[in-house]
Structures are given as C-alpha cells and as structure tokens.
Structure 1
Amino acid sequence: MKIAKLSLAALLAAGLAHATSLEEAIQGTEVEGFVYVKEVWNLDGQNSDTGNYSYRVHAAVPVNDVVVAHIGIDNTDDNETLNVEQAALTYTGIENVKITVGEHPIMSEFTDTERGLDGSWGIQNGFGITASTTVGGVNLVAAFFGSDNDTESNETGTSESLQYIHADANIADLFDLSIGYLNTDGGESYGNVALDSVISAGDDLDINIGAALNVREPDDSAQNSNTLVTAYAGATIAGLDVEVAYAQTGNNGGSVNLGGDNSRADNAFYLQDINIDGRADTDAWRFTVGADVADNIRVSAGYLMGEDDNNNDITEGKIAVDYNWSENFMGQAFVSSYKDETVVVTGNVDSGTNLKVELRYNF
C-alpha cells in the first residue's frame, strides 16, 4: 500500500514539475456546461413543481502536456446548494492509459450519456482514482472511490468505499457488449451485462435490438438476489422511430441499476413517472413512436403497461414535443398521465396527470 501511495505521489509530482505558465494554461482552458429550467403543473389539482433550475459548469485546465486539472460545480441534486462536482487531475503520460484522481463523476469516464435535459447522470460521484485503457479493441475502466451517492445499504447519505470495473467492446461490427461490476464495503454488489446492435437494412432503415441483465446481491446473505431483465427492438425509417421494450423484475424488488452505462437496454426501465426498476415480480411493456415533423421539431408518444404478481396494474401514457432553437438551445413540452395500483395513498390508487416544460442551454 505504501508503494502504491509513493508511486501515485511520484507520478503527480513529475507532472506538476513541468507545469505550463498561468497565461498558457488560461489560453488552453476549455469551459463547458449548461443551464436548465423546468416547470411542472399537476393537472389533477395537486401540488405543482415550479421554479426548478439546475446548472453544471466544468473547466479543463491544462497543467502541462500530460496533466489536466478539472474543476466543476453544479446543483443537479435538486437543491440550491452549490456542489463541487469535480476537483481532479487527469494524467495521460503513459501510452494508452488515462488516470484521474480526485472528486469526479466516475461513470463519465466511459460514457457521456445523460438522462434527460436536466443533466442527471444517474451515476456514482465521489473522491477516488479511475484508470482506463484500451486493449485489443476492449475499453477497460477500473475505479476505487468513496461514493457521494446513497445506496440501499447506505441510506444515511454518508460516503462508503466502492470498487468498480467496466468493460465494453464492439464485436465483429455486429453489436456492442457492455459489462459492469460494482462492489461496496457494505457487502452489496451490482453487476450488469448488455448487448446492443444497430443493423442497417437500407439507406433509410436501421433496426435496433438489445437486451440486458442487471443483478444485485444484497449485503444480507439470507436474502435472494434481485434482478432486472430488459430487452428492446425498434426501427428508424426516414426520421420515424418505433420501439417496443420489455422488462421483468425478480421477486425481491430493490434497485439493481448501476446507472450511467451507454447501453439503452440496461438503463432504468421507465417512460416518465413510472419506473420498473425497484419493483418486485413485475412484468412491463413499453411502446414508443417518434417522428421529425420539421428540421427542428420532433413529436413523440409512448405507452407503458405492467402488472405485478398480485395483479396490480401499472399504466402510463406520454405525448411530447421537442424543439431545438439552435444547436445549443433546446426545449421539450409534454403531457404524461399514469396510474399505479401498487401504491395506495389514503385509500386512493396513486395516479396523476402532469404538464411539464423544460429548457436547456449548453455552452
């Protein structure tokens, strides 16, 4: 352990010893981020969710040719507190290896996929070390860090140590394979494997298929594993997208999703307000269709239906319009309506109809 610490210290010292001047660093700094606002109105007369906003600002400052300093702030945890999302150094002085040390979003080391316009990564964020490389066409990422995120066994909000391994590769130009494994010091472990494929069947026709298995092993050996199996098939025809997807959960419930992977199939199975991940003994289908009606306008609709082993039904419908004013300025408005018989509040089945408008500007 002492050797590892000395090696890491020596590595950083070697990079900082040849730091560029402040003027050169400022000239090479890259700044990016976004500002996001949303308004949600409950059309059933219940409480509306208005006045929400979030932002993220990230600056990459070159220290020298092989070291980059990352500084990032946000408030994307749905409160007005300014959070230090990133305070890290990335070292690329070893051929085909990238090492990041400090506070950073771990999963973003291998995916830039965000869930929705609000910029929620659905990922583990924390202080630690992440190393990535590519070997024979396989992208490998390993991380050891203290998580800032809550987990099933860590509901107090305190940090716990996590170890994560990820690998992804394109197999014979036919499909993308993604594998992830996360272990916590609380005894829990999460794993997923996903396959995604896009098949070009003509100039204007692409066929999309994929499937994933997510497993969670709880820290209590007396409990059984929790599982989430998902699969989808769809097609894109000259700007028209259609897709059907299926999900099935194990008999224990509990979230099994690692989050952040760039596979569509392994992400949480939801439409808008209803999420299948975390439910026990539930089967669900999701149908979506979308079309570009103009260069900057897209209309889409979706329907989700499911049932648990007690014959409780889950349904949700959604109609949305996306509008892009420019490459950096975009918005969405949609109406969604859901009914969840598995949740009963003061004698009434949980249901609701919401109108939501959201805007995002990237810079």
Structure 2
Amino acid sequence: MAQITERQGKILSLIIERYISTGEPVGSKTVCKALDNRISSATVRNEMAVLTEHGLLEQPHTSAGRVPSQNGYRYYVDNLMTRYELSLEEQERIKLWLKAFSGEPEQLLEKSGEILASITNCTVVSSAPAAQDATIKKIELLPLSRTTSMIVLLTSSGTLKSQVVRVDVELTLEMVESFYNIVKTHFLGRRVADIGTAFMQTIVASLGEKAFLLSPLLIAVCTLAKNASLTDIHRVGQRNILTHKEMVDNASELMDFIHKDTPISELLNAQKRSLNISIGTENVFKELQNATTIFSKYAVGENDSGFVGIIGPTRLDYARLIPGIQYLSSVVGTLLSEALDDN
C-alpha cells in the first residue's frame, strides 16, 4: 500500500471519522472547516485527489465528496486510528453486568452477546470454550427424587453440561458410591473426546450385575462428554444487519450465512490471532465481502478457549469498538477462569 504524508494522513483520518459519524460523503469545505481553514480548499482538493489515486478514498458521484474505500479503512486502523480507552466506570459496568452469569458459560456468552449487540448495533458471534482437548474435571450426581437425578459434568476448559436421568429402581447410597468410584477410576482427567461407545462398552462389561442399575447414569455421562466436546456457537442481534443501509442489498444472504453452523464454524476457525479484523474483501467468505468482522480471543486459565466478535458494516467506529470488544472478551475469559477455579 502506498505511503502517504502526515498531512494526507490527517485529511484521511478526518474524512473517515466524519463519514463514520454521518454516513454522508465528505467534501473539501468540510475538511477545511474541521482544520480551521489552516489549509486552502484547493490544497485539500489536491490531497483528496492523491488519496483517491492511492485507492484510499472513493468518489461515489462526480459532484459529491469522498468516502473511505476498504483499503482506506485498513490504512486508518493500522496506522492512523487513536484507540479509545474505556474509563474505569465503563469497565466496572461491564464487569457488573456479566458477573451474575459467571458460573454458567452459556448464559455468560449469551449475556455478553446481548451487551455487545446493544453497544455496537451489529451481529455478535461467540464461541464457547473449545473442548476437543479438554479433560473431565468434575462429575456430580444430584438426586432430585427417589428415581431421578441430575448429572453435571465440568471440563477443564470451563464447559458445563447437565442432564436429568431417570432410573428404573430407587437410587441407593450404594449405587451412588459405585457411580462415584467409576467416575474417579475411569472418567476424571480423561479427554472428553475419548469418551465414546467403545470406551463405555468396556466399562459396562466390567460392572457385572451392577451394569443394569448403573447403565442409564453412565450413558448420560457419555452423552454429556460428547456434547462437551462440541463447540457451541452463540449468535445475538442478527436483525441489526437490517439497520445498516450498506448491508441491506445482501442482508438475506448474510443472515442465512450467520444462521448456518458450518460456515460460522469455519469463520471462527480462521481467526488465528488474539485480535482479528477483516475489512470487506479481506474476508474469504463472499457473503462477508461487504462487511467487517472483528473477533477477540479469550482464554480460560492458560488455554486459548474461544472468541467474541461482531459482524457489521465496514463503516464502523473502529477506534471505540475494537478496545470495547477486546475488554469484554477478556472479562469473559477472567470470569470463566474464576468459575473454573471455584469448582
């Protein structure tokens, strides 16, 4: 990408920030006024023409002002943008909103998505802690009645799964003790991805006469482990797409893309850095080539676990949204880590 002068950078920043604010093309008179007329209108027009030749600005109509190109947004984010710093009050407010849901990863991600969708007016996509390599940290059996119990499974990545199980006989203290012995011997510390049919058949075959009594409970554990090995994807604010005039033309195609698990999973898997910003055609999916995606990675403990991010128009307030998304994702990771330590 071509290098530009300091003055051209100031003009580009001003045009981008004004366009982000108003959604209207920016003319030379507006630029001159913002610069307190320190630069002549003719000079500003010449600099705008140079920025257009460099592919950083576009002129939508012959007599109109300029708007940023996708390359212009990229140059601005990488070189010119002054990041907004969240105040302590804003940080505490986000923590307070989310802390009530810290013990439930799925609810925490749903709530963080609602907050981010409201703040950004974009669609929010987040992934639960990745669990393919996670191990089983705890399994609890909680009696609900004489023949019904709830089994709760917690993984090392913070994923929490539960299932209500009914057995054909009354749960006795001996059955509960046998269940916990099996859990301790065969399940704790084992990768959730390794809990499959063959594994369960081996355990059941070793139980002898207890197999009939304990099989429903062990099958439920197997089901929970399988569910915990999958990455849950949360979506909030899909209809926000319709509020952006830049996205209306392909809104139906984009909403269909967001709704489907496979492309969204591929999108999340493509995010390799701690902060990932793809503007317009930088997105490899054609449905997103008129959009911007911003994803921030969060960690549970010392492990990279998931992402929180947005899908929106290219006309975004990058300076404010990027720090906000990064901070929110870090709070999600911190709260999940604390909940995991408590357990």
Name the TM-score, length of structure 1 as normaliser.
Answer: 0.21
Structure 1 or 2: more helix by fraction: 2
Name the TM-score, length of structure 2 as normaliser.
Answer: 0.22
Bigger Cα Rg: 2
Structure scoring higher RCO (CA < 8 A, sep ≥ 6) equals 2
